[in-house]
């Protein structure tokens, strides 16, 4: 089969013929129809992000495709089913604290790297092998719709944060990082989950205005000034009532004071989900006042990705019409032009923009 292979950091993807994946027990093979290209994939491939990758590897975190082959443990899947390939692979021998690898992207710790050695190759290929539990049925869709369904991979990340923070219908949410790719996805997911209002702080007034155009009166933009105390009060004033839940999904380049200002808008007994990159690129970490956390009974959740059932639950939100994939503007490339797709994704990052490879 044809695949795009990363052989060394800093080199272009090699488009070549590789062996087809071989089915094992507890596994499924999927014909990949469409797969998204992360906006920062160029930084993964050149080594800037220092992701844990055992090279050579076929990259690509998840995708949309059709089932080619199933193992004996699959009782609901059928050959030909349209499915989402969930890249979050978990070890099966410790359900309490499993090791995790993001298939085709990175791994966490020695256990995650062991997982990567087997479930190594991702979706920048004509076929992909996954654990059975990572293949989620979509129902009847068309090949053209597969491109749009790639947005699931982006939407799932903030969905995992809101699940961890136990977001309830009717609550007021603040999304720290709302003008980014994952942050704008968080706004749409929060509304789909029933949030009464989403407060959206940011510096880019054009993007804030576009979010208001898309989502109407249930979102409240806040232009950040850079003054921590001023911004905190401005965010509180924008909310129609107490802020019940804060999701931070800021990138590593952001000053921690911006994140702290957003977090400390949450009400007593409120919840905070941390999914951003503060401190990952060096520099100061996030400092929060111990007395404020303790006396106000603040719950703070660190969240990486999402629980195993999240993809199926998110697919149901799309099926019910509560979450609109049509918000995403997509640009598609074939597999022969995978390097062009990576460059395009980096140059066209932003809310509701998606670059896709169709093998």
CATH of the domain at 185: 3.40.50.720
Percent of the chain with pLDDT over 90: 94
Q: Could you tell me if 76 and 181 lie in one domain? A: no
pLDDT at 98: 95
Q: Could you tell me if 139 and 8 lie in one domain? A: yes
d(CA 21, CA 24): 9
Q: Could you tell me if 278 and 344 lie in one domain? A: no
pLDDT at 179: 94
Q: Could you tell me if 142 and 180 lie in one domain? A: no
128-162 pLDDT, tens digit each: 999 999 999 999 999 999 999 999 999 999 999 99
**Residue 260 in domain:** yes
Kindly tell me if the per-residue pLDDT of 281 is higher than 80. Answer: no
**Residue 344 in domain:** yes
Q: What is the mean pLDDT of residues 207-222?
A: 97
Q: Could you tell me if 215 and 278 lie in one domain? A: yes
Look up the domain containing 272 and give its range. 157-302
Q: Can you read off the two tokens belonging to residue 229?
A: 């105390």
Q: What is the mean pLDDT of residues 285-303?
A: 95
Q: Could you tell me if 143 and 162 lie in one domain? A: no
Residue 83: which of 135, 156, 150 has the closest Cα? Answer: 135
Contacts of 266 (CB under 8 A, 6+ apart): 174, 243, 244, 245, 246, 272, 298
**Using 50, 70 and 90 to split pLDDT, how confident is the model at 283?**
confident
**Using 50, 70 and 90 to split pLDDT, how confident is the model at 235?**
very high
pLDDT at 117: 93
Q: Could you tell me if 141 and 9 lie in one domain? A: yes
In the block, tokens 């710790």 appear at: 109
pLDDT at 9: 96
Q: Could you tell me if 296 and 213 lie in one domain? A: yes
**Residue 310 in domain:** no
Q: Could you tell me if 128 and 178 lie in one domain? A: no
178-204 pLDDT, tens digit each: 999 999 999 999 999 999 999 999 999
pLDDT at 306: 95
Kindly tell me if the per-residue pLDDT of 221 is higher than 80. Answer: yes
Kindly tell me if the per-residue pLDDT of 38 is higher than 80. Answer: yes
Higher-pLDDT residue of 346, 254 = 346
**Residue 186 in domain:** yes
Kindly tell me if the per-residue pLDDT of 214 is higher than 80. Answer: yes
**Residue 142 in domain:** yes
In the block, tokens 């609550």 appear at: 171
**Using 50, 70 and 90 to split pLDDT, how confident is the model at 246?**
very high
pLDDT at 253: 82
Q: Could you tell me if 7 and 147 lie in one domain? A: yes
Domain boundary among 302, 319, 339: 302
In the block, tokens 């690898």 appear at: 101
94-132 pLDDT, tens digit each: 989 999 999 999 998 999 999 999 999 999 999 999 999
**Residue 308 in domain:** no
**Residue 321 in domain:** no
Domain count, the chain: 2
Q: Could you tell me if 332 and 252 lie in one domain? A: no
Q: Could you tell me if 85 and 30 lie in one domain? A: yes
**Residue 307 in domain:** no
Judged by DSSP in three states, 271 sits in strand
Q: What is the DSSP string of 194-209?
A: T-SEEEEEES-HHHHH
pLDDT at 243: 98
d(CA 60, CA 104): 5
**Using 50, 70 and 90 to split pLDDT, how confident is the model at 50?**
confident
CATH of the domain at 111: 3.90.180.10
Residue 62: which of 180, 146, 160 has the closest Cα? Answer: 146
In the block, tokens 């990052």 appear at: 349
């Amino acid at each position: 089969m044809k695949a795009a292979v990363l052989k060394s950091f800093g080199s272009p993807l090699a488009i070549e013929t590789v062996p087809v994946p071989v089915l094992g027990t507890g596994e499924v093979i999927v014909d990949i129809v469409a797969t998204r290209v992360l906006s920062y994939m160029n930084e993964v491939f050149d080594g800037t992000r220092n992701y844990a990758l055992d090279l050579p590897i076929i990259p690509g975190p998840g995708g949309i495709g059709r089932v080619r082959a199933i193992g004996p443990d699959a009782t609901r899947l059928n050959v030909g089913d349209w499915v989402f390939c969930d890249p979050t692979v978990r070890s099966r021998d410790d359900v309490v604290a499993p090791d995790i690898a993001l298939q085709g992207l990175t791994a966490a710790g020695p256990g995650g790297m062991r997982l990567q050695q087997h479930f190594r190759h991702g979706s920048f290929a004509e076929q992909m092998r996954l654990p059975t539990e990572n293949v989620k049925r979509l129902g009847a869709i068309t090949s053209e719709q597969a491109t749009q369904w790639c947005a699931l991979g982006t939407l799932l990340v903030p969905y995992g944060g809101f699940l961890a923070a136990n977001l309830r219908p009717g609550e007021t949410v603040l999304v720290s990082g709302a003008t980014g790719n994952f942050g704008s996805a968080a706004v749409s997911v929060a509304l789909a989950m029933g949030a009464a209002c989403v407060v959206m702080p940011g510096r880019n007034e054009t993007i804030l205005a576009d979010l208001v155009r898309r989502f109407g009166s249930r979102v409240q933009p806040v232009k950040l000034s850079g003054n921590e105390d001023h911004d905190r009060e401005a965010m509180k004033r924008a909310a129609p009532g107490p802020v019940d839940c804060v999701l931070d999904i800021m990138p590593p380049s952001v000053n921690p004071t911006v994140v702290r200002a957003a977090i400390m808008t949450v009400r007593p007994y409120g919840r905070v989900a941390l999914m951003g990159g503060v401190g990952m690129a060096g520099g100061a970490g996030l400092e929060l006042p111990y007395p404020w956390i303790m006396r106000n009974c603040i719950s703070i959740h660190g969240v990486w990705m999402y629980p195993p059932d999240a993809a199926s639950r998110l697919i149901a939100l799309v099926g019910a019409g509560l979450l609109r994939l049509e918000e995403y503007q997509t640009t598609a490339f074939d597999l022969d032009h995978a390097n062009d797709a990576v460059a395009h994704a980096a140059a066209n990052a932003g809310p509701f923009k998606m670059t896709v490879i169709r093998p």
